[in-house]
């Protein structure tokens, strides 16, 4: 199982990515997907995502590797967009395939929780009227990632 | 040593990256921050609150006592906010 990892400005196509994971095989019994979207909070005009090219791909590959070690996955896709995204735009896609639902669902949740805290992305919010601010890391995200640590 | 800055750290320092040769007594991430912080008012502003700064050495997250050496790529940035 080779994870598909992409960091790109272009939008992604959930149907096409799903088809890619299942094409030509009949052993996949469950697919789980998470799509994160840009919310229009507080008059947000756009979200600008910056990342650390090179390290980002390495960090995601490491998280994907850990997911593949912990769950019996048949397919894994992570696509994270960067650049300027307007409210409603999809930001991130996590897609996991397994023989059974539990592995697909759990690994999908694990991956998105870790993407929030373990990959070098930064979000800057631009508001109508020109104000801007960097999104601050949330303790709730650290807690969500921490729950996957082995006891 | 290649030093990279991201997000508001980059905005405050004023450049995305710089090639620097810290003196030999700069041995770890914390020492490098001490040395960088007095280079300019922008550097000083960027590194004013160490608690809000994260680092990576050769593209792996690194704590304050992580060693740094000639030829390393060291990056400074705020806590990450992806996903």
Q: Is residue B83 part of a domain?
A: no
CATH number for the domain that contains residue B26: 3.10.20.30
Q: Is residue B22 part of a domain?
A: yes
Taking contacts as CB-CB distances below 8 angstroms, the residues of chain B near A49 are: 82
Q: Model confidence at A140, in pLDDT bands (50, 70, 90)?
A: confident
ipTM above threshold 0.90 = yes
Q: Domain of B38?
A: 2-77
In this prediction, residue B50 carries a pLDDT of 92
Q: Is residue B41 part of a domain?
A: yes
**Distance from the A50 Cα atom to the nearest Cα atom in chain B, whole angstroms:** 7
Picking from B10, B76, B52, B82, the residue whose alpha carbon sits closest to that of residue A119 is B82
Contact residues for B49 (Cβ-Cβ < 8 A; gap 6+): none
CATH domain A4-146 topology: Aldehyde Oxidoreductase; domain 3 (3.90.1170)
* pLDDT of A59 strictly over 70: yes
- For residue range A7-49, what is the model confidence (pLDDT) as tens digits? 999 999 999 999 999 999 999 999 999 999 999 888 899 999 9
Q: Is residue B37 part of a domain?
A: yes
- For residue range B37-80, what is the model confidence (pLDDT) as tens digits? 999 999 999 999 999 999 999 999 999 999 999 999 999 999 99
Q: Does A90 touch chain B if contact means CB atoms closer than 8 Å?
A: no
Residues present in chain A in total? 151
Taking contacts as CB-CB distances below 8 angstroms, the residues of chain B near A80 are: 82-83
């Amino acid at each position: 199982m080779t994870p598909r990892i992409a960091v790109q400005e272009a939008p992604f196509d959930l149907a096409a990515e799903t088809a890619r994971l299942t094409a030509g095989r009949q052993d996949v019994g469950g697919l789980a997907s998470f799509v994160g979207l840009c919310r229009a909070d507080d008059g947000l005009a756009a979200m600008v995502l910056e990342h650390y090219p090179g390290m980002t791909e390495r960090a995601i590959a490491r998280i994907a590797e850990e997911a593949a070690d912990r769950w019996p996955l048949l397919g894994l896709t992570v696509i994270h967009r960067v650049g300027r995204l307007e409210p409603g735009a999809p930001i991130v896609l996590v897609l996991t395939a397994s023989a059974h639902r539990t592995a697909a669902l759990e690994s999908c949740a694990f991956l998105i929780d870790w993407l929030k805290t373990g990959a070098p992305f930064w979000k800057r919010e631009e508001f109508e009227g020109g104000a801007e601010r960097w999104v601050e890391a949330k303790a709730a995200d650290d807690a969500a990632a921490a729950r996957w640590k082995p006891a | 040593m290649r030093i990279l800055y991201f997000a508001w750290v980059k905005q405050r320092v004023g450049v995305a990256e710089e090639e620097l040769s810290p003196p030999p007594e700069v041995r770890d991430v914390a020492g490098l921050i001490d040395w960088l912080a007095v280079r300019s008012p922008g550097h000083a502003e960027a590194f004013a609150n160490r608690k809000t700064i994260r680092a990576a050495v050769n593209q792996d997250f690194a704590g304050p006592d992580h060693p740094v050496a000639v030829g390393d790529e060291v990056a400074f940035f705020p806590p990450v906010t992806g996903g």
